[in-house]
Amino acid sequence: MPPQPSQPQVRKNILKFLKSFLGIIRILQIVFGAGLWVTIAANKYEGSIHFVLFVAVLFWLLTLALFFLTLLDKQDLVPLLGGERWLCTNLAHDVAAAVLYLPAIGVMIYKTDRNSYCNLELYKHHCLYKVYLTAAVFACLCCLAYLVSVIYGACRKCRGEQTVI
């Protein structure tokens, strides 16, 4: 078992990751993803919104796991996916997230459009238009964050880099 790094070295690694491009992008993905699923879950939802909620919660949890594994520099402990494959693992995760967020955006735009009739000031009944609009914006921001992460990871992979930070 390799020797454990000292406490100041661990803090230094954590700060290095938090200040890195990938660390910032991961934080944005976590914040936008949480915004999306909290917005949906806090209100009444039905039908195809379940898919959006599934995508949002799944990738929020996976991104949280990737974030903390990288933050704590424990990616070598992940069987089959860690170590030298960690950059590819992150890239595959980001591609899958971006691909699944695209139909989620479509669903949210469709639902927003379907509820646009109740955006009138004189409409007095409960209306989900603003909820769906907010969720659509969060879904777009999530997808954009994952696409930026895909481009960044692909560029790093093409240059032959192996580490995430």
pLDDT reading at 145 higher than 80: yes
At 97-111, the pLDDT tens digits run 999 999 999 999 999
Buried b (16+ CB within 10 A) or exposed e, 61-98: eebeebbebbbebebeeeeeeeeeebbebbbebbbbbb
Q: How confident is the model at residue 9 (pLDDT cuts 50, 70, 90)?
A: confident
Q: What is the pLDDT of residue 123?
A: 67
pLDDT reading at 21 higher than 80: yes
Q: Model-level pTM greater than 0.85? A: yes
pLDDT reading at 129 higher than 90: no
Q: What is the pLDDT of residue 86?
A: 82
Better-scored residue on pLDDT, 6 or 55: 55
Per domain, the residue ranges of the chain are: 7-159
Distance CA 10, CA 21 (A): 19
